């Protein structure tokens, strides 16, 4: 019987946690700062963007620093999480060829790795709040729900990318360009109230951008996203997760021989 990925997550949680920590150790192996880089990378990216956009804005937006770091953290996690998920089957090809193990676990492991690093990056966000003299409102209690939706989106995309990459290697450079484009078409350093036309139209069909905008409302503006926003985003995220898992199961039969 085929089990949905969330059921597998519960059944194999010890294995997933073990491989996730192993991924983190391998990623930062040989570096002097180790896991600190998980927070330092988005922080440096934030500092560059903050200096640039604070300088060119004629009228600085209130709490722009917190607005920007929120978007940067979500972007950095999405970029790193999906790039790791994309190669999750390829880098574990020796395990897949040597042991009888469920293939769909590896995109889950890549996503679980992102979940662990998420806590490090959240430390950066909350660490910057006193520096910018910012105090979050009560709506911050909705942040964990939003983060769960974010991780489910990453998982769904990882199912799609990981299995497609086994069959078509061109997926990797295409996805790199696509994720780079997301930096500019998502409300990370610009506000939805400031744009119109194509950017606003893209935002309406951009689930990542919608999650970032909801995060801004919860963290920066102390607003609760509307019921419509919660409902539509949840439907899109679970739709991508479902499509990704079904696609993975349809194509997994020849994964080992193509690795």
Q: Are 166 and 247 in contact (CB under 8 A)?
A: no
The span from the CA of 183 to the CA of 52, in Å, is: 15
- Is the pLDDT score of 1 beyond 60? no
How far apart are the two ends of the chain, measured CA to CA in Å? Answer: 25
Place of tokens 């709040």: 129
Average pLDDT estimate for 65-91: 90
The span from the CA of 156 to the CA of 152, in Å, is: 6
Residue 63's pLDDT band (cuts 50, 70, 90): confident
Residues 214-231: tens digit of each pLDDT: 999 999 998 889 999 999
Where are the chain's structural domains? 5-258
For residue 53, give every residue at least 6 positions away whose Cβ sits within 8 Å of its Cβ, in sequence order, or none: 64, 68, 189
- For the ranges 7-11, 55-59, 103-107, 252-256, the lowest mean pLDDT is seen at 7-11
Query: pLDDT at position 253, please?
Result: 78
Residue 20's pLDDT band (cuts 50, 70, 90): confident
CB atoms within 10 A of CB 150: 25
Transcribe 165-192 into DSSP letters. Answer: HHH-TTHHHHHHHHHHHHHHHSTTSS-G
């Amino acid at each position: 019987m085929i089990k949905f990925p969330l059921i597998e997550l519960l059944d194999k949680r010890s294995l997933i946690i073990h491989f996730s920590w192993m991924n983190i150790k391998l990623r930062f192996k040989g570096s002097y700062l180790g896991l600190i880089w998980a927070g330092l990378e988005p922080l440096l990216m934030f500092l560059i963007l903050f200096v640039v956009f604070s300088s060119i804005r004629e009228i600085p937006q209130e709490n722009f620093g917190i607005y920007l770091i929120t978007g940067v953290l979500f972007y950095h996690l999405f970029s790193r999480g999906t790039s790791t998920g994309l190669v999750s089957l390829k880098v574990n090809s020796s395990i897949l060829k040597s042991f009888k193990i469920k293939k769909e676990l590896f995109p889950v492991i890549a996503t679980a790795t992102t979940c662990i690093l998420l806590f490090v990056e959240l430390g950066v966000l909350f660490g910057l709040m006193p520096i910018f003299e910012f105090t979050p409102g009560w709506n911050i209690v909705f942040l964990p729900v939003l983060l769960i939706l974010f991780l489910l989106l990453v998982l769904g995309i990882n199912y799609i990318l990981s299995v497609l990459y086994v069959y078509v290697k061109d997926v990797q450079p295409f996805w790199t360009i696509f994720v780079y484009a997301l930096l500019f078409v998502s409300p990370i350093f610009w506000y939805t109230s400031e744009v119109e036309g194509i950017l606003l139209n893209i935002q309406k069909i951009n689930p990542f951008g919608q999650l970032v905008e909801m995060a801004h409302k919860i963290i920066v503006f102390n607003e609760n996203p509307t019921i419509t926003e919660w409902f539509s985003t949840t439907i899109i995220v679970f739709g991508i997760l479902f499509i990704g898992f079904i696609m993975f199961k349809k194509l997994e039969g020849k994964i080992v021989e193509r690795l």
